[in-house]
Amino acid sequence: MAKKGLVLLPIPAAGHLKAMVETALKLLHHHSDVLSVTVLLMNSIPGVSLAPNHHTYIHSITSSGFDIHFEELPLIDPPHSDEKDGSPASISLYIQKLLPHINASLSNILSSTPSTTLIVDFFASTVVDEAKKLGISTYVFFTSGAAMLALVLYGPVLFDKKKSMEVFELPGMDEPIPYLSLPTSFTMTNSASFSWFLYHGRRFLETKGMIINTFTALESQVIKALEDGLYVHGSPTPPIYPIGPVISLQNPSNEEKEQHETIKWLDGQDPGSVVFLCFGSMGTFTVSQVKEIAHGVERSGHRFLWSLRMTGLPVPSNALLDEVLPEKFLERTRDRGLVWPATVHQTEILAHRAVGGFVSHCGWNSILESLWFGVPMLSWPLYAEQHFNAYRMVKSHGLAVELRVDRKDGGFVSGEEVENGVRVLMGDSEEVKKVKERCGQMKVESRRAVEEGGSSFVSLQRLAGSF
Ligand SMILES: O=c1ccn([C@@H]2O[C@H](COP(=O)(O)OP(=O)(O)O[C@H]3O[C@H](CO)[C@@H](O)[C@H](O)[C@H]3O)[C@@H](O)[C@H]2O)c(=O)[nH]1
């Protein structure tokens, strides 16, 4: 029997490419006799940080033995210099410029595999119309949580009827959402990014289904509200496929003989004694904020592992520690801290028994990884939908301790607040005991969801059956 084709179109950012590829691997694991996967690969988008180990990762997948291969799209210049900032609108414009190449690849695949399905990254939903013209069924892959998808779909209703912007109420969410916890784009309703979300939310509705990297035990009410069509007026909501948590646990460094230095350092620490600070692929701070963090972790008295990178173009650069940290900080904290001036292998660190807490920017993948390993978070949202994710984790789910981030003051956090936050996270107050207990439960639930018969497993099989 001829195999069916599945084409993926992810953007190359860490939490996008890997989440989509790992989903395809899960599908292949059960349907390798009937499915062949092609990933249309963008090796660069201006303003978007590639996944750490991007090329090693792709190589490891190519040699996995599964019927999955990568077809590289050409590198092109962005249309204008102001469209390189990595915002949804700029990514879309870039992908629009790639459309002739994407079309050519899709047509080529169709000529050999007439039964082909496309899964597009939600940032690439501009391709939905083109695929329709070619007669290809398309699904959208949403790399953040169901609540964020709900907000995107409900946006037009919400912002039409709401005149006062203090708090918002969304079906499927018990607590009203304060204006200051909205995603950055939603706080600037005259921005290109806000328009992008409203417009592309409508495009998602024209797909055959919406695949979300989440799981029922985490977001049951919102998933149910999505399925019931409560966020969309005037047209049906396509089927919802919560298939997460999809986490890339492959560690390219395992192929190397030496353990990474961060892991060797963790090996020498007591169980649960280390607080880990890491802020995703683009999270950076000003030098003065770096100094506040340093003072905070130092005064907290706790052991720490800190992945520190600085603002750089086109993506963050490795930190020059002597230039940005307070004088003699490294000397004073040598016995109890390690500052790593580059990206780290986050899942391997979160899996380590020495790690007892995670100061996170609340990117969706970091949240899922933290829950997978049952590590409690201290939320430090920076941009995109991270404030919304942080609010949901702290207030709706009790899975994180809140760091007070003054969004009105550009998100600055004092050293004192960092110190208090780390003390609470690593302490044994009643508040943190409850958070730890909830995280322990979510560790179990997240694993159960993807096991045979679990909610996400069933959802993924339902998805495969719909191709
Ligand atoms: O030093 C590092 C830094 C990151 N990672 C990995 O990179 C991914 C980061 O993903 P995520 O936590 O989602 O953060 P961002 O890279 O910031 O992700 C962008 O995309 C996410 C999914 O759409 C959004 O939730 C975020 O707000 C947005 O910033 C995770 O798998 C991490 O394990 C590492 O392995 N090492």
Q: Three-state DSSP class for 185? A: helix
| Contact (Cβ atoms closer than 8 angstroms) between residue 205 and residue 216 | no
Arithmetic mean of pLDDT, 300-311: 96
Per-residue pLDDT for 257 more than 90? no
Cα gap 434→162, rounded to integer Å? 35
Label residue 14 by pLDDT band (50, 70, 90): confident
Mutation to probe ligand 1, out of 364, 368, 389 (largest number of atoms < 8 A from CB): 364
What is the structure's pLDDT at 251? 60
Counting from 1 in the atom list of ligand 1, the atom nearest the Cα of 307 is 1
Strand segments (E) across 19-62: 35-41
pLDDT value at residue 252: 54
The answer, yes or no, to whether any atom of ligand 1 lies below 6 A from the CB of 367, is: no
CB 57 within 8 A of CB 51: yes
The two beta strands, 309-310 and 317-318, are antiparallel
How far is it, in rounded angstroms, from Cα 262 to Cα 147?
A: 34
Structure-derived torsion over alpha carbons of residues 99, 101, 103, 106, reported in degrees to the nearest 10:
-130
| pLDDT (average), residues 194-222 | 95
From the alpha carbon of 283, which atom of ligand 1 is closest? 17
Rounded Cα distance, 108 and 126, in Å:
20
Crossing angle (nearest 10°) for helices 287-300 and 415-426: 40
Q: Residue 165 pLDDT more than 70?
A: no
- Which pair of structure tokens corresponds to residue 21? 């590829």
Confidence of residue 328 (pLDDT cuts 50, 70, 90): very high
**Which mutation among 143, 358, 365, 379 tests ligand 1's pocket best, with the greatest number of atoms within 8 A of CB?**
365
- Atom 34 of ligand 1: nearest residue by CA position: 346
pTM, to two decimals: 0.96
| Contact indicator for 15, 368 with CB cutoff of 8 Å | no
Instruction: Walk me through the domains of the chain, giving residue ranges and CATH numbers.
Output: 4-249+450-466 (3.40.50.2000), 256-446 (3.40.50.2000)
> Radius of gyration (Cα) for the chain, nearest Å?
22
Instruction: For residues 111-132, give the mean pLDDT.
Output: 94
CB atoms within 10 A of CB 216: 20
Beta strand 137-142 with 35-41 is unpaired
Interface pTM, i.e. ipTM:
0.99
So which residues are the catalytic ones? 16, 121
Q: 3-state class of 172 per DSSP?
A: coil
What distance in angstroms lies between residue 14's CA and the mean position of ligand 1's atoms?
6
Q: Taking the CB of residue 227, how many other CB atoms lie within 10 A of it?
A: 14
- Region 439-449: mean pLDDT is 98
Q: Is the CB of 262 under 6 A from ligand 1?
A: no
How far does the centroid of ligand 1 lie from the alpha carbon of residue 422, in Å?
A: 21
Ligand 1 centroid to residue 366 C-alpha, Å: 6
Q: Quick check: CB of 333 below 6 Å from ligand 1?
A: no
CB atoms within 10 A of CB 2: 10
Q: Are strands 35-41 and 355-360 parallel, antiparallel or unpaired?
A: unpaired
- Ligand 1 centre and the CA of 281: distance in Å? 5
DSSP string, 272-338: T-EEEEE-TTT--B-HHHHHHHHHHHHHHT-EEEEE-EE--SSS-EE--HHHHSPTTHHHHHTTTEE
As a whole number, mean pLDDT of residues 220-240 equals: 95
Residue nearest (by alpha carbon) to ligand 1 atom 15: 280
Phi, psi of 445 (to 5 degrees): -65, -40
Question: Which residue minimizes the CA distance to atom 7 of ligand 1?
Answer: 14
Split at pLDDT 50, 70, 90, the class of 160 is low
User: Higher pLDDT residue, 312 or 231?
Assistant: 231
User: pLDDT at residue 261 above 60?
Assistant: yes
Nearest-CA residue for ligand 1 atom 28 is: 363
Which residue's CA lies nearest to atom 1 of ligand 1? 343
Which two structure tokens, joined as six digits, stand for 170? 């969304």
Place 167 in a pLDDT band, splitting at 50, 70 and 90: confident
Q: pLDDT for 332-374, tens place per residue? A: 999 999 999 999 999 999 999 999 999 999 999 999 999 999 9
**Average confidence (pLDDT) over 307-329:** 89
Cβ of residue 384 lying under 6 Å from some atom of ligand 1: yes
Q: Which ligand 1 atom sits nearest the alpha carbon of residue 19?
A: 31
Tell me, in angstroms, the distance from the centre of ligand 1 to residue 127's CA: 24
**What DSSP assignment string belongs to 400-448?**
EEEP--BGGGTTB--HHHHHHHHHHHHS--HHHHHHHHHHHHHHHHHHH
Ligand 1 site, residue 282, Cβ cutoff 6 A: yes
pLDDT at 239 over 90: yes
Q: Say if residue 82's pLDDT is above 80.
A: no
Cα(142) to ligand 1 centroid in Å equals 14
Q: Give the pLDDT band of residue 80 (cuts 50, 70, 90).
A: low
Ligand 1 pocket, 145 CB below 6 A?
Answer: no
Q: What's the gap in Å between 390 CA and the centre of ligand 1?
A: 14
In the predicted model, is pLDDT for residue 47 greater than 70?
yes
Q: Which pLDDT score, from 0 to 100, does residue 255 have?
A: 52
pLDDT reading at 433 higher than 80: yes
380 lines ligand 1 (CB under 6 A): no
How remote is the C-alpha of 79 from its chain's centroid? 27
- Residue pair 411/382 in contact (Cβ under 8 Å)? The answer is yes
CB 30 within 8 A of CB 6: no
Output the CA 413–ligand 1 centroid distance in Å. Answer: 21
Residue 460 pLDDT > 90: yes
**% residues pLDDT > 90 (the chain):** 75
- DSSP string for 326-382: PTTHHHHHTTTEEEESS---HHHHHTSTTEEEEEE---HHHHHHHHHTT--EEE---
Residue 309 CA: nearest ligand 1 atom is 1
Q: How many CA atoms lie within 13 A of 44 on its CB side?
A: 9
Q: Is the pLDDT of residue 123 over 80?
A: yes
Average the pLDDT over 243-265 and give the result: 79
Q: For residues 454 and 5, what is the distance between their CA atoms, to the nearest angstrom?
A: 26
pLDDT bucket at 293, cuts 50 / 70 / 90: very high
**What is the pLDDT confidence band of residue 230, given thresholds at 50, 70 and 90?**
very high
What sign has the CA pseudo-torsion 207, 212, 215, 216?
A: negative
Q: What average pLDDT does the chain have?
A: 92
